[in-house]
Amino acid sequence: MENIVRIVGAGLAGSEAAYQLARRGVAVELFEMRPQRMTEAHSTGHFGELVCSNSLRSNSLTAPAGLLKEEMRRLDSLVIRTAEANRVPAGSALAVDRELFARSLTEAVEALDRVRILRREIQEIPDGIVILASGPLTSQALSRQLTSLLGEEHLYFYDAISPIVTVESIDAAVAFRASRYGRDGDDYLNLPMTGQEYDRFVDALLSAERVATRDFERFVPFEGCMPIEEMADRGRETLAFGPMRAVGLVDPRTGKQPYAVVQLRQENRERTLYNLVGCQTKMTYPEQRRVFGMIPGLEKAEFVRLGSLHRNTFVNSPLHLRPTLQWRRRSTLFFAGQMIGVEGYIESAATGLLAGINAARLLAEKEPIVPPPTTALGALLRYITDPERKRFQPMNVNFGLIPSLPAKVPGKAKKEMLARRALADMDAWIVDAMRRTETASCKPTTNPETALAR
């Protein structure tokens, strides 16, 4: 077997996989088509460019995203370490300066001795051990090959991203800094709405012109990235009880809770750019300027990025993938990232991490491994690769995927116990995996936080 692993795609999953392989002494060829060939959503050639939100979600262990991030830290995740080095204030969430994060991740991967970067499009899956992490915006040529390999189970859905505005174009007389219930300090800008202002905004959303979906392409939006106008279609109060809920916020001008609130989250360290939280959209560009300009405080908004709708590609993983992320019909082909039906930045990076570990094991003639289902990563893998699942849709990590506790525990205490059990099981799994993986390039250690990562 050729002593090299080829990775297609240098997004979060591909970059993480390259790092995991290189630090295990494995030679890597990392293929990335950008900037020679761009996608409809990316704007740079940097690795791991974030095109939706700049938030990697909660850091709290009682939140599933926080638990998964902690598991990734114990596996020495390059993506998490880079995100923490380029974070911007976002309360209890881990949000990053997009430009600095992507640039830093690119530089970190470029500095890896065993990684050779090739800036060109891959139209056919290479021979040998391969990690396919081409992402939700896989090129048409490679998509065609996947379609021929996977058949009708090669699926499509669409993703929507939020607009970004400059801070100086936000009316400071209207906006106020606060987080719901004061839990995250004053990291968010809030634009309050009265009932009448909210109704006018919803009316505009419902009547706005939207980007048409072509007949041969299915529009199946993931719930976590539902366009704001699609949410409004579900009922006039959907937004007021969803992303625009005002509970826990007080308008300092009135001393009262507003009817609804649009929150803006910091995009960069300089606090010059803010994105409209929950305002992902597929409205046309002129309609976005008109409709979002109706939000109090955004009447003169300068949009540095408007929202957009882009194609996301994912495969029917329960039918095609093993929990080790190997294709059932070719053990040397791994899939990773959002294209396998995981939603979210950290979920994508986590699958790249495991694919890198298992590709290295396969090259060393070791059995690929999977974390216990009681861990956040193990539970997510079990969901996306369960062959009994007949109707598959992309999924974020969540506590509902993790097996229940032996005894019934209420509320927050349950989440705390699930997190403690998950981390204990992850530590034990790391030690056990290390015990079974003594290679010339892997020095044993008793520290479970670094054992598998060496």
What does the alpha-carbon distance between residue 386 and residue 380 come to, in Å, rounded to a whole number? 10
451: pLDDT strictly greater than 50: no
Whether this prediction's pTM lies above 0.95 is answered by no
Strands 28-31 and 115-118: parallel
Q: What is the pLDDT of residues 372-381, one digit of tens each?
A: 999 999 999 9
Going by C-alpha positions, the residue among 248, 268, 271, 287 that lies closest to residue 172 is 271
Instruction: Specify the range with the lowest mean pLDDT, choosing from 27-31, 323-327, 390-394.
Output: 390-394
Domains of the chain: 5-158+312-435 (3.50.50.60), 163-306 (2.40.30)
Return the pLDDT at 67. 98
pLDDT in tens, 66-112: 999 999 999 999 999 999 999 999 999 999 999 999 999 999 999 99
Task: Check pLDDT > 70 for residue 220.
Answer: no
For residues 346-369, average pLDDT:
97
User: Beta strands of 325-434 (E only): which ranges?
Assistant: 326-327, 330-335
What angle is formed at CA 329 by the lines to CA 326 and CA 333, rounded to 5 degrees?
Answer: 40
Phi, psi of 344, rounded to the nearest 5 degrees: 115, 150
What is the percentage of the chain residues whose pLDDT exceeds 70? Answer: 92
Which pLDDT band, with edges at 50, 70 and 90, does 219 fall under? Answer: very low
Average of per-residue pLDDT values in the chain: 90
Name the one residue in this structure whose structure tokens are 């290479």: 126
Does an H or E element contain 357, and which?
A: helix 345-363
pLDDT score recorded for residue 155: 65
Alpha carbons within 13 A on the beta-carbon side of 198: 22
CA atoms within 13 Å, Cβ hemisphere of 261: 24
Query: What are the start-end ranges of the E strands in 127-174?
Result: 129-132, 154-161, 164-166
